[in-house]
Amino acid sequence: MNRRDQGQGGYSRGRSDRRRVISGVSVTPRKSLGQNFLQDEEVARWIADQIKPDGVPFVVEIGPGVGALTKHLVGRPKHLLLVEKDTQLAAEQRAAWFDQPSVEVVEADATRIDMRPWYARGEVRAISNLPYSVGGEILRHLLTPPTPITEAVFMLQKEVCLRLSAPCGANEYGGLSVLVQQDWDVELLRIVPPEVFVPKPKVDSGVIRLRPRSPSALPVYDRLKFDRLVRLGFGQRRKQLKNLLPEAPGGWEAVAAALDKPTTMRAEELSLPQWVQLARWYEGRTTEDAGQKATEMFDVVDENNQVVEQLPRGEVHARGLRHRAVHIFVINPRGDIYLQRRSHLKDVAPLKWDSSAAGHLDVGESYAAAALRELHEELGIRVDETKLAVEVPADEGTDNEFVELRIAHHPGPVKVQPEEIHSGTWFTPELIDGWVAARPEDFAKGFVTCWRAFRRSLAP
């Protein structure tokens, strides 16, 4: 077998039971990286098939190791990215697939890899035999919103898989179940015995599939408060929640009645929707979610941006009348720009990516005043002023809005309002350029128009 054939085949047995050969080089699993090499051909092929890689735009394999999964993925997606922390294995993977233009190898730590360039790829599917030692850290980094990943298949310890997928009432149900399932539907696909690995671990493994939970499946809530309450509640499972959580607004008896639970309830007795309901209670959210009010009044303007009348929001949008809006780009000291993914409650472009903050002007309100108001309402930040960058005329590209694009400088962090924003993060202008060029459909129409006008304004 020549060098290329060995690489294509993934691995072969070395002289030791703990060694593998990739591209003709003998590799020993590194305990410090939690490496356990998958050696069962049938299992590897089955796992690769679960991500349904054929013809999809972009598949990421985390920690390909000696290529057990990789060889069943190569040539199937349009682009396959291999993320490998081990320097030797990364080099050997490059050698193994050097003549496959659809395969890219990156030497990087998956707990810290920059995923922002992946948004321009569109649908992103992730697959991995996750290392036991840092599997939790990798999951947290890859799956915490915002994330470009749209589906994932992971193998990790059986115990962790059971906890991730456990429904309320199962023995394995706990804080990890709740924190992950708020964003992901988790399905346990199969249990894998230790014998399929080298070295052989002391426990069984499991394979799970994760798909994004619809944002509309749960009412909106403060994620930070939710996270804190869940961690406190499951921190000492034998204790009653009333002895673990902060004093509840209105008293614990009122909370218990709202949840239809006894005052002696414990953390594992609450389902995910009930945990969300509990977090909303602490926030003072007692009514059902509602999007923008169709009765909100707008200034209607003519072709010269002069006010001609005031009409309700719903009528303005329905008739396509000209009106006014402000967009703000918040820039941090590194020059990154904060982009938000709009809430599913938005009546226009729900769940599309948009400017840092944006909104319509209230009746009689100036653009500058609206910018300060939107920054506070959507991002929870206050600045002394914003600076006009570009004036954008009303046309189809802005949905008939006369827009002022304004700039604000803020170091972060931001505190998003869940009624307005699903999630958000900072991007370099160059990353935004590439993303807008590749996938303008990912953005609210007005943002694309504003971004292009902004970039033109900076051209020499």
Neighbours of 303 (CB within 10 A): 9
pLDDT at residue 313 greater than cutoff 70: yes
Higher pLDDT, 110 or 21: 110
Please state the CATH superfamily assignment of the domain spanning residues 3-217 in this structure: Vaccinia Virus protein VP39 (3.40.50.150)
Q: What is the pLDDT of residue 35?
A: 55
Q: What pLDDT, in 10s, does the model give residues 430-450?
A: 999 999 999 999 999 999 999
pLDDT at residue 32 greater than cutoff 70: no
Amino acid at residue number 383: V
Q: What is the value of pTM for the model shown? A: 0.90
Stretch 100-109: mean pLDDT, rounded? 97
Range from 173-182, 283-292, 408-417 that averages highest in pLDDT: 173-182
Q: Which of 175-189, 211-225, 284-298, 405-419 has the lowest mean pLDDT?
A: 284-298
Q: What is the pLDDT of residue 98?
A: 94
CATH 1.10.8 in the chain, residues?
Answer: 234-283
pLDDT at residue 99 greater than cutoff 60: yes
Q: What pLDDT, in 10s, does the model give residues 120-176?
A: 999 999 999 998 889 999 999 999 999 999 999 999 999 999 999 999 999 999 999
> Which is it for strands 12-13 and 20-22: parallel, antiparallel or unpaired?
antiparallel
CATH architecture for segment(s) 234-283: Orthogonal Bundle (1.10)
Cβ neighbours of residue 170 closer than 8 Å, sequence gap 6 or more: 162
Give the integer Cα–Cα distance in Å for 438 and 270.
43
Cβ neighbours of residue 26 closer than 8 Å, sequence gap 6 or more: 14, 15, 19, 20
With respect to CATH, is domain 297-458 assigned 3.50.50.60? no
Q: What pLDDT, in 10s, does the model give residues 72-82?
A: 999 999 999 99
Higher pLDDT, 160 or 28: 160
Q: What is the pLDDT of residue 131?
A: 86
% of the chain beyond a pLDDT of 90: 83
CATH 3.90.79.10 in the chain, residues?
Answer: 297-458
Q: What is the pLDDT of residue 294?
A: 78
Quick one: pLDDT band at residue 24, thresholds 50, 70, 90?
very low
The CB-side HSE value for 170 (13 A sphere, CA atoms) comes to 17
Q: What is the dihedral of CA 196, 197, 199, 205, to 10 degrees?
A: -100
**Mean of the per-residue pLDDT values of the chain:** 91
Stretch 194-215: mean pLDDT, rounded? 92
Higher pLDDT, 131 or 415: 415
Q: What pLDDT, in 10s, does the model give residues 43-54?
A: 999 999 999 999
pLDDT at residue 261 greater than cutoff 70: yes
Tokens linked to 237: 């499972």
Cβ neighbours of residue 210 closer than 8 Å, sequence gap 6 or more: 143, 151, 152, 153, 154, 180, 184, 185, 186, 187
CATH 3.40.50.150 in the chain, residues?
Answer: 3-217
Q: Which of 9-23, 113-127, 287-301, 435-449 has the lowest mean pLDDT?
A: 9-23
Cis peptide before 440 (omega within 30 of 0): no
Q: What pLDDT, in 10s, does the model give residues 341-372?
A: 999 999 889 999 999 999 999 999 999 999 99
